[in-house]
Structure 1
Amino acid sequence: MTAVITGWSATSPFGHGRDAFAAGVRAGVPAPAVPAPPDSWLLAGGTAHLVPDFDPVERLGRKGTGAMDRTTALAVHTLGLARADEPPSDGRTGVVLGTTSGSALTQFSFTADSLTRRKPYFVNPAQMPFALMNSAAARSASWHGLTGPNTTLAAGRLSGVAGLRYAGRLLRTGRAAGVFVGAAEEYSGARELLERGTGNDLRLGEAAAIMFVRAGVSGNRSGLAEVVALDTRLASDDAPGEALVECLRHSLAGVAPDEVWGLAVSGVDTMESEAVAEVLGTRIDRVVAPARLVGDTGAAGGPLGVVALLALAEGEDAARGRVVVATAVDRDGMAGCVVLRLLDGSSMRDRGVAR
């Protein structure tokens, strides 16, 4: 049994829904970078790729959003868009979301309040659940009435690989009938502070991407893409490129180089592309790097790479039946890849709304 992606949506600096993100990826022009919003943790002004016209109260309503952090709001909103195309079939629909560490801004602010507010250091209790990294997955499931397994993976840039692997395990064991899988990452001064502290000088962005995954049926080619293989490696001796080469060789065993139609890389350096070139050569029809288009979106970057490939393949007859590869490398030394075979896309439904 295999896992099949049958739908997806995204909220990104290109706008809201699948159509907005797909149009931005196909155009290949970076989303505008705007002045970063001020908060108490931003040490100096700068620019970032932000989701336009995104106010949690306006998008989700006043109830339940008073203390909601931006990461959770992005996840709830995007899962709602994906759910419009892929309604749950029963009560065993699960949610698997990747994260770096949750909302850095909420965690910083809650900790500061616990140290600085008047004794006995009163904090806002409504903020406490959103200081936990599993807030986005838990609130997304409860908001949309999903009662299947609910999981948060602190996988950073490998959230796409880790999420699809975990979802596949749930489907194979019968724990879930379908899984919404993806990741969300907000922009904030607190996150900027943390990223700069690690030496990351890329312009930051924010986004959420959610895919819906079902169990594949032998011989049934409907859906968007079938998960062919997944692999991860821990780089030794600070050599993530070598680790990624091993991932690719293992995952692409039996796949001819000319079968590969598309590639998505998580970063903006050349290391990932060089690793792919070592394994497959350079003859790949479509190559996309979401970080070049919408900034460094942290955990959301992995799922964005996968859905960017699905967006590029939509309507492309030459892509049908061929293979696409999404790679990821995180600063902790983890490297990974996911290999998908593109299907006929027959499960997509045009409802006349942003998807």
Structure 2
Amino acid sequence: MTGVLITAWSALTPFGHGRAAFADGVLRGVPAKPVSTKDDWAEADARVVPDFDIVEQLGRKGTSSMDRTSALAIATLRELVADAGGAVEIDARTGVVLGTTSGSNRTQFEFTRDSLTRRKPYLVNPAQMPFALMNSAAAQCAMWHGLTGPNSTVAAGRNAGPSVLRYASRLLRTGRASGVFAGAVEEHSGARELLEPGGVLGEASVLLFMQTGEPGNRPALAEVVALDTRLGEPRRALAGCLEHVLSGLAVDEVWGIASTAADPELSEVEREATGEVLGPRVETVVRPGLLVGDTGAASGVLGVAALLAAAEADTAARGRLAVATSVDRDGTAGAVVLRLTGSPHELRGEG
């Protein structure tokens, strides 16, 4: 392989901490249970990452004003490196690319409120300011884990998945990075409930480790074959993406589809578009959004992770194609095509 490869991944989701918890949840197909949440802004039922306290996870140093978005991303990167068993090598050119909708809504709301209500001259908490920026999570990941390569944030909402993979692929193909932690994160909060009314919201953080197929790099879980994003009427935009990314590929090679929408209307858009282009005979269909709730920017990368998890449990997936789709209410749509290469256990055995 000479393309861009996914060699490891991990996630924090409503199913629990780490790739094993998410993989088990996807394979069981039982939705995570919503829990009651409440803060200064709203009260609602939501699917959140369980047992995640920032101080307990990361310690007291540097976390007194840290937002949940940054903490989730930092912890996910730690999980990925630990799960890879030393196979993920970090050097001076290792970078991170994170997708988001707008960063931590809760921190942004709180900082704005303090600027209006606290004693003049507007005595906001200055330690909170860095975490109110949408690039906080990527920057904090780099600082906590010593990443000195490219550091980027892609604000693309529910289409952050293909957008992040495209950005990371360009960094790798142009030699600007030796490896990239590429993913997305979306926290749950009352502030987000106000901005995204209706449906059950979720939260998640998911990261892929990506490299090129150069000699000496770790064996791959999948190769990124093609991706595309488009804007237009949602069904036509997604169908156009699928036709483009599958151009020149045999449709009967497609083993699995991940439809990532949590919203029933958007899920139906994905079903119609994939049915139009791929037909009804795809063997495996996973819908992580229906299991973990609307995870916003994290949903597209979760679709990729769900395909990797399902492929590890099915030997029929090896060497075949898988497609992750995403669509947003604003008419943006995207699709990612992977060629699956086998389970980590099998790959290590071959080495």
Normalising by the smaller structure, the TM-score range is over 0.9
Contact 1:224 1:347 in 2 (8 A): no
Opposite residue 225 of structure 2, the aligned amino acid is V
Pick the aligned partner of 1:226 from 204, 216, 223.
Answer: 223
Tell me the distance in 1 between the aligned counterparts of 2:80 and 2:158.
21
Q: Deviations over 1:216-261 (max 9, x none)?
A: 249x9931000000101111xxx21001111100100122121111
Q: Which residue of 1 aligns with 2:239?
A: 245
Tell me the distance in 2 between the aligned counterparts of 1:56 and 1:125.
19
Q: What secondary structure, in the 3-state scheme, does the structure 2 residue paired with 1:233 have?
A: strand
Q: Which residue of 1 aligns with 2:157?
A: 156
Q: Which residue of 1 aligns with 2:55?
A: 57
Contact 1:79 1:210 in 2 (8 A): yes
Any residues of structure 2 matched to 1:307-326 within 5 Å, and which?
Answer: 307-326=305-324
Q: Structure 1 residues 65, 89: CA separation in 2 closer, same or farther (over 3 Å shift)?
A: closer
Tell me the distance in 2 between the aligned counterparts of 1:28 and 1:266.
14
Opposite residue 65 of structure 1, the aligned amino acid is T
Q: Which residue of 2 aligns with 1:32?
A: 33
Q: What secondary structure, in the 3-state scheme, does the structure 2 residue paired with 1:32 have?
A: coil
Q: TM-score, normalising length from structure 2?
A: 0.94
Tell me the distance in 2 between the aligned counterparts of 1:250 and 1:87.
32
Contact 2:68 2:187 in 1 (8 A): yes
Pick the aligned partner of 2:272 from 264, 271, 274.
Answer: 274
Q: What secondary structure, in the 3-state scheme, does the structure 2 residue paired with 1:181 have?
A: strand
Q: Structure 1 residues 348, 136: CA separation in 2 closer, same or farther (over 3 Å shift)?
A: farther
Q: Percent identity?
A: 63
Any residues of structure 2 matched to 1:60-99 within 5 Å, and which?
Answer: 60-84=58-82, 85=84, 86-99=87-100
Q: Which residue of 2 aligns with 1:353?
A: none
Unaligned runs of at least 5 residues, structure 1:
351-355
Q: Deviations over 1:73-131 (max 9, x none)?
A: 00000011112214334210000000000000000100010011011110101000000
Contact 2:327 2:333 in 1 (8 A): yes
Tell me the distance in 2 between the aligned counterparts of 1:259 and 1:324.
9
Any residues of structure 2 matched to 1:334-349 within 5 Å, and which?
Answer: 334-346=332-344
Q: What secondary structure, in the 3-state scheme, does the structure 1 residue paired with 2:41 have?
A: coil
Contact 2:44 2:193 in 1 (8 A): no
Aligned length: 339
C-alpha deviation, 1:171, in angstroms: 0.5
Pick the aligned partner of 1:212 from 205, 209, 212.
Answer: 209
Q: Structure 1 residues 348, 174: CA separation in 2 closer, same or farther (over 3 Å shift)?
A: farther
C-alpha deviation, 1:346, in angstroms: 4.2
Contact 2:219 2:347 in 1 (8 A): no
Q: TM-score, normalising length from structure 1?
A: 0.92
2:124 paired with 1:123: yes
C-alpha deviation, 1:349, in angstroms: 9.0
TM-align CA RMSD: 1.6
Q: What secondary structure, in the 3-state scheme, does the structure 1 residue paired with 2:202 have?
A: coil
